Amino acid sequence: MITKEEFKSRRTKVLDYLKETGGRAVFKSGQLKNFSNDVHYPFRVDSNFYYLTGFTEPNAICVLDPQADNPYSLYVEPYDPKHELWDGYREGLEGAKENFNADASYDIHDYKEIQDAKELEELVHSMRSIKSKAETEVMRKSAAIAVQAHRVAAELITPGIYEYEVEAALYQVFRSQGASGCAYPAIVASGINACTLHYIENKKKIDKNDLILIDAGCEYQYYASDITRVHHASGKMSQAQQDIYDLVIAAQQAAIATIKPGASFQESHDAACNVIAEGLVDLGYMKDKNDPEELKQFYMHGTGHSLGMDVHDVGVDKKTTKYVVGMVTTVEPGIYIKSKKIGVRIEDDVVVTPKGSECLTEGLEK
Ligand SMILES: [Mn+2]
């Protein structure tokens, strides 16, 4: 759990920055989106807004202004008994002050657009890229729920069931363990579907010879987990499938071994690429292990991305960023061979520690 004090210390950092550079900043929680008629999509608060306030209602605005009498103002929907009957409780102006530490609170309908507001996205993103102890603990829980879901899904897999049945089992675990749901649409891709990187239709019947790629994670207290595993429908891989699987595992190990403070995202990617290229040459799929274009036919995505409140989290440039203690990254090499209906990706979530790294999804069978 993130404490009120931690939310406050984040705001203090932004206010200190504004003290030095001048101006004021505005953050918005976001708007409800219509689904049909009077029904809305489930609301999910803007990550930057939540990061600074802990407030999760739609149509709210946070103003940070170190020159003002009240440096932290929250504009919110007022408490409304009629709204409470239909759509639930609102904190209102009182709750904004009492429960969310606002120095002042106002009716959102009285808000006038601040024209000279500063764009502090870069600052907040860089703050978000380094996770505190409390954030790491929340992410550990998010990861633990996802690990459990992947175990249940693995048990379920058998020839003849549909991909969506596996998806439903994942979701069942997410919700029953207190996660709000999926951190991103779950991928349950059997056979050739695994070669479509973001396949989310999940509607095919699983064939007895299929590999099944499951890429799924949950959102727990606004923090994501992101795990990929690959299973065989009947439990016994063909030689070709096994060769590719083993190669991806080796690439992942090589990439994880590079992670430590000061090393770069690019170094991890290069390590995975080297293992995969060499292996694919040995297996006869590639001719030249030093030809990046040839490699891209089989491995066309990055080896990892920052993970946090957003599944593809902010504050990291994969080409230039160096690891810092507290960063969390996925490590997810893959190989895709359409002609053989083989798609393998293995993904774990790793936090950078002073000595190297710690895997938050450790222990989930590969
Ligand atoms: Mn991922």
How many Å lie between the centroid of ligand 1 and the Cα of residue 255? Answer: 14
pLDDT at 225: 98
Percent of the chain with pLDDT over 70: 100
CA of 269 to the centre of ligand 1 (A): 14
By C-alpha distance, which of 260, 245, 263, 259 is closest to 333?
Answer: 245
Q: How far is the centre of ligand 1, averaged over its atoms, from the C-alpha of 163 (Å)?
A: 19
CA of residue 93 to ligand 1 center, whole Å: 39
Does the pLDDT of residue 26 top 90, yes or no? yes
Q: What is the pLDDT of residue 40?
A: 94
Residue 104 pairs in a beta bridge with 73
Quick one: pLDDT at residue 238?
Answer: 98
Yes or no: say if 128 and 51 are a contact pair by the CB < 8 Å rule: yes
Residue pair 247/279 in contact (Cβ under 8 Å)? The answer is yes
pLDDT value at position 308? 98
Domains annotated for the chain, with CATH where assigned, are 4-127 (3.40.350.10), 130-359 (3.90.230.10)
Centre of ligand 1 to C-alpha 197, Å, is 11
Q: How confident is the model at residue 119 (pLDDT cuts 50, 70, 90)?
A: confident
Inform me whether the pLDDT recorded for 218 exceeds 90: yes
Task: Kindly give the pairing relationship between strand 72-76 and strand 104-107.
Answer: parallel
CA–centroid distance, residue 209 to ligand 1 (Å): 26
Averaged over 241-263, what is the pLDDT? Answer: 98
Question: What 3-state DSSP class applies to 360?
Answer: coil
Q: Tell me, what's the pLDDT at 89?
A: 92
Beta-carbon contacts of residue 261 (< 8 Å; ≥ 6 apart): 322, 323, 324, 325, 352, 354
Q: What is the pLDDT of residues 38-81, one digit of tens each?
A: 999 999 999 999 999 999 999 999 999 999 999 999 999 999 99
Measured between alpha carbons, how far is 103 from 156 in angstroms, rounded to an integer? 52
> Cα(332) to centroid of ligand 1, in Å?
7
Please give the distance, rounded to the nearest whole angstrom, from the Cα atom of residue 184 to the centre of ligand 1: 10
| pLDDT at res. 23 | 95
Distance 226 CA to ligand 1 centre (A): 5
Ligand 1 geometric centre to CA of 303 (Å):
9
Q: Quick one: pLDDT band at residue 87, thresholds 50, 70, 90?
A: confident
pLDDT at 149 over 90: yes
CA of 217 to the centre of ligand 1 (A): 9
For the stretch 224-244, pLDDT in tens is 999 999 999 999 999 999 999
Cα-to-centroid distance, 306 and ligand 1 (Å): 9
